[in-house]
Structures are given as C-alpha cells and as structure tokens.
Amino acid sequence: MLIHGEHYFWYLLTPMIGIALAAVFVRYVVKDDISHGITKILYAISQRKSIIKAHNMWSSIVGSALTIGFGGSVGAEAPIVLTGAAIGSNLAKAFRLNQRTMMLMIACGAAGAIGGIFKAPIAGLVFTMEVLLIDLTMTSVAPLLISSVTATALSYIFSGSTPLFMLSLYEPFTVGRLPFYFVLGVVCGLVSLYFTRGMNFLEQNFKRRVQDWRVKVLVGGLVLSVLIFIFPPLYGEGYEVIVELINGDTLSSLSHSPFSVLGSDTWVLLLYFTLIILLKIVASVATNGGGGVGGIFAPSLFIGCLTGFVVARAMTLTGISVSESNFALVGMAGLMSGVMHAPLTGIFLIAELTGGYHLFMPLMAVSVTSYIVIRVFEPHSLYAMRLAQKGELLTHNKDRSVLTLLKMDNVLETDLITLAPDMTLGELCKIISESKRNIFPVVDSDGHLLGILLLDEVRNIMFQPRLYKRFRVSQLMTSPAAILRHDMSMEEVMTVFEDTGAWNLPVTDEERRYLGFVSKSKIFNSYRRVLVHFSEE
C-alpha cells in the first residue's frame, strides 16, 4: 500500500493539493475543459470532423499527473488515450489528410495509447472497434495493428515485459465452476449499472449545485480526503490493491484503515470492500468534479477486482469453493465490459494485462454476461451516454451514423418566398408566377410562422380574376403536418417525416420564428453523398 505509518495522516491534505493544482492548471494555463477524455474523442469523431485541439497532446497528461500523483481517485488511461488521439488528429491535420484518414489516425493514436499503457496490443485494436466505434476494414486493420504493436514494443523496451498486474497465484479453471462465473457476470452487470447511473447522477448534481470553481476545489478535496482517510484503497488508481487481491493478499488493504480496529475476520472484510465498491464513484466524482483530471478506466478495473473478491468470499461463506484470486481477476473484465459496453476489450485486456490466458473461458463468460445484463437497462456506455442524449453519437449502425453526421444546416432550404397573411389572391398569383416552388410559408410581421400555402390548394381559383380581391392568404393557408425545430437531430427529423407522411416540413426556432424548409428529397440526396464518403474502403 501507498499509505504507511506516520505518513498516513498526510493523505488528509495531499488529495486536496492535487485537485487544487490541477484546477489552477486547467483554468489559467489550458483555459479549456479537458475532462471526459474518451467522450471528447467520440465527440470529435461524430461532430468536429475528427479535429482535436492541439493542447490535448500534452494538457491531459499534465493535469492527470497532478491529480493522481497527489491521490486523486481516478485513472490516467483516458487522458493518455485522449493524448494519443490528439497526436493522431493533429498529425493528420498537419499533413492535410482527408476526414476519413483523420478518423483513422485518431483511432491509431488511441490504439497505441492502450497498447502502450497496458502492454496489450490486441486490446488496443478491439478498444477502437468497441468503444470508439471504428469499423474494421482491410484499410484500417493494418494501421491500427501497427500502431498498437509499436506502442507495446516501446513499452517493453522501456519498462520490461512483466505484465502490469503480475499474477503469481491462481487455480486451474474447471468447467464445473463455470455456473459460478455466470453468477459473477450478473453481479458485475448490476454493479456496472450502479457505476454508470451513479457516476452520471453525481456528476450532474455536483456540477449543478456547486458553481464557483474555488468552492468545487474545496468541496471535492474535502470529500476525497475524508474518504481516503477512512478507506486508504481509494487513494490514487488503486492498482496496488488489485495486485494484492489477485495474488491472495486480502489483509494489507485493511491494515491502515480505521476499520482495522474491528478485526480482520471475513465479515469485516466483506463490509469493508463492499463500502469501497459503493464509495469509489463518490471519490472519483469528487476528484473530477473538484477540478482534477482523470478517467474511469482505472476505477472500473478497481471496482471489478473488489466485486470479484466479494462475490468469491460470499460464495465461500455459503460452502461453495471458488478461487478468490481468479474471481478478482475476472471481475475486472466484467466491470470493464459493463461500464464501457466492450466485452472483447474486457476479455483481451485482462488476459494481456495479467498474463491470465488460462482463464479465457471465465473471462468470456463473465464479460458477455455483464454486457448483456447492463444492455437491458442502459443502451449506451458511460462514455457515450452524454453524446447519445444529445443525438450526437456515431454508432456501428451505418444508417444511424450517417444521419448523425447530417445536420439541419446541411439540408435547410431558405429559398422559399414568404407570404404575409393579409396578401390578396391577386398578389399571391403574381408571386406564384415568379416562384419555382409550389409551397409558401406564411409569416407575420415578426417572422413567426402562421401556416403554409400549397399551390395545389389555390390552383382551381388562381385563374379567376374576379376572385383576386375576395380571398386573402390567411383564408387559403393551412397548418403544416408538423413543425421541425432547428435543434432537432436528423434522426428525430426522419422520425417526424415517417410519422406524418409529409414530404416537406417547415423549420422554426424556439420562438416559432420561421427559418426555412426541409424536404425528404434533400435529406435523401445528402444522405447518399455522406454514405458514399462514409463507406469508401
């Protein structure tokens, strides 16, 4: 453990120092939001034409080093992945590569970061496929593999070939214990659901309730410091605790905690680790919400390891003999699969991370089960949830991805002639003779949409001059089948078109001011152009 004897009480202070330093660095040096690194990559791919700001090539590393170095309860992996992706994006921008190649360069940077951090080249490849949603084609597999393998090789050169979590104690897997791993998978799925919803809920409430950045530093630092004082394993990434548990050392984590006065029997350990599982998300939100910089990669591994141990110890109490070490190891894959919606990443990362290739079957059973369980409740990972709620997330569904890439501004038609409600039929006929469209929006003096007038509705009277002064536009206009808002996603727009059966619909702002029209034909033409670009090999 990082906490020893007389140094223990320093950890009431150091986490707050780290959060304060990181917050000052972000506010006065970076002057930009660098939190939620993976979400930022997904946003760049979906909405910013794969452009990531240049400062992300270094700012996230500095911010996370200050945060985690002083005890912040988050991980450095997401900031490093953002750094790798930013390097790829800015290299592509410097060489003026096209958008598709820039997207591939971002993926290569991310794959290299994962491969280098964990010495896990296969995990780097599948991470881009599952989390960054990059389709694997013949033109993308080779660069991704080269990047991941190169980063892993360099990691071997500078830090040796020993796995990050060296596994020295394990029991051989037997098929008869497979049902117990499925039970662990279900538990991991439910804990992943708690992690995802709890983290999102706490982040939103912390951000809404605490506005001043100095107060955020104070509140976040105090909460984190108190939690670390009571539960020392919450200090930093928690990787030392993981190594202890997967190698059978279950008492070191308890020895420096106030809980140690209760003894070290099984019930105390179960209570202690269960509370840590529940409070880890509070510590992580306090770290990031207070101004620190870090990701959820390490917290998900940490909680997964503790979940596996708690489930194994609980089974042992009921008379079921299982390996606590194996369950702790496999639990990491279960949590990662559930939180990130990435079962393949969980399987290969933990196998490569620990050298536990002999546990492939349990890894697969737990990862897939956890993923299935959380998908019942949450369609998106914690990374993608924020973008999905805004309709800004690319998916592996190409139809949906193409619609995500289309924006209202791309399909909005503004060349229609507007009519005033008090115009006579005679004035209308003059406008029709000069127009190339057969639909006319009717707006008041303030630009608010009142209705629409279709050429077909007046065709039978427009050639009768005796009626020119009898009818006015307000008498001839009709209500549109629906009105689109300018901030709607293209998927929502297509849903409205399908529900109404309309071919043209007006678009307004929040105050119902007319902005233009959208037609199905314009959407289909734009869709085909984007699909060709999106699908090119």
Contact yes or no for 192/342 (Cβ under 8 A): no
pLDDT of residue 170: 64
**Spatial separation of the C-alpha atoms in residues 68 and 293, rounded to whole Å:** 8
Return the higher-pLDDT residue of 395 and 391: 391
Whose structure tokens read 């007389």?
6
Q: In 363-385, which positions are buried (b, 16+ CB within 10 angstroms) versus exposed (e)?
A: bbbbbbbbbebbeeebebbbbbb
Please state the separation of Cα 264 from the chain's center in Å.
39
Whose structure tokens read 């100095």?
214
* Domain 399-535: homologous superfamily in CATH: CBS-domain (3.10.580.10)
Backbone angles phi, psi at 124, to 5 degrees: -60, -40
Q: Is the pLDDT of residue 277 over 60?
A: yes
Q: Is the pLDDT of residue 423 over 60?
A: yes
**Spatial separation of the C-alpha atoms in residues 431 and 473, rounded to whole Å:** 12
Q: Tens of pLDDT along 50-88?
A: 789 999 999 999 999 999 999 999 998 899 999 999 999
How does the average pLDDT of the chain come out, rounded?
85
Contact yes or no for 109/73 (Cβ under 8 A): no
Instruction: Kindly tell me the burial class for residue 534, based on how many C-beta atoms sit within 10 Å of its own C-beta (0-12, 13-18, 19 or more).
Output: middle
Q: Please name the residues in contact with 437: beta carbons below 8 A apart, sequence gap of 6 or more.
A: 415, 416, 417
Nearest to 87 by CA among 67, 102, 76: 102
Q: Is the pLDDT of residue 424 over 50?
A: yes
* Helix, strand, or coil (residue 120): coil
Return the higher-pLDDT residue of 134 and 512: 512
Contact yes or no for 380/131 (Cβ under 8 A): no
Q: Please name the residues in contact with 530: beta carbons below 8 A apart, sequence gap of 6 or more.
A: 402, 405, 406
Q: Tens of pLDDT along 163-210?
A: 777 776 567 778 888 999 999 999 999 999 999 999 999 998 998 888
Q: Is the pLDDT of residue 531 over 60?
A: no
If you average pLDDT over residues 259-267, what whole number do you get? 74
Same fold yes or no, 175-397 and 399-535 = no
pLDDT of residue 394: 55
pLDDT of residue 279: 96
Give the global pTM: 0.77
Return the higher-pLDDT residue of 488 and 314: 314
Q: Tens of pLDDT along 327-359?
A: 999 999 999 999 999 999 999 999 888 776 788
Q: Which CATH class is domain 175-397?
A: mainly alpha
Q: Is the pLDDT of residue 537 over 60?
A: no
* Helix, strand, or coil (residue 338): helix
* Helix, strand, or coil (residue 53): coil
Contact yes or no for 113/80 (Cβ under 8 A): yes
Q: Is the pLDDT of residue 121 over 60?
A: yes
Contact yes or no for 327/184 (Cβ under 8 A): yes
Contact yes or no for 239/319 (Cβ under 8 A): no
Nearest to 329 by CA among 362, 280, 299, 372: 362
Nearest to 166 by CA among 248, 280, 73, 243: 243
Q: Please name the residues in contact with 281: beta carbons below 8 A apart, sequence gap of 6 or more.
A: 194, 195, 198, 199, 202, 299
If you average pLDDT over residues 413-428, what whole number do you get? 87
If you average pLDDT over residues 358-362, what whole number do you get? 87
User: Per-residue confidence at 5, pLDDT binned at 50, 70, 90?
Assistant: very low
Contact yes or no for 294/72 (Cβ under 8 A): yes
Q: Is the pLDDT of residue 274 over 90?
A: yes
pLDDT of residue 393: 56
User: Per-residue confidence at 401, pLDDT binned at 50, 70, 90?
Assistant: low
Q: What is the largest CA-CA distance in the chain?
A: 101
Q: Where are the alpha helices (DSSP H) in 341-412?
A: 343-354, 360-377, 382-389, 398-405, 408-411
Q: Is the pLDDT of residue 391 over 60?
A: no
Please state the separation of Cα 169 from the chain's center in Å.
35
User: Per-residue confidence at 8, pLDDT binned at 50, 70, 90?
Assistant: low
Map 135-200 to HEC letters: CCCHHHHHHHHHHHHHHHHHHHHHHCCCCCCCCCCCCCCCHHHHHHHHHHHHHHHHHHHHHHHHHH
Q: Where are the domains of the chain?
A: 5-159, 175-397, 399-535
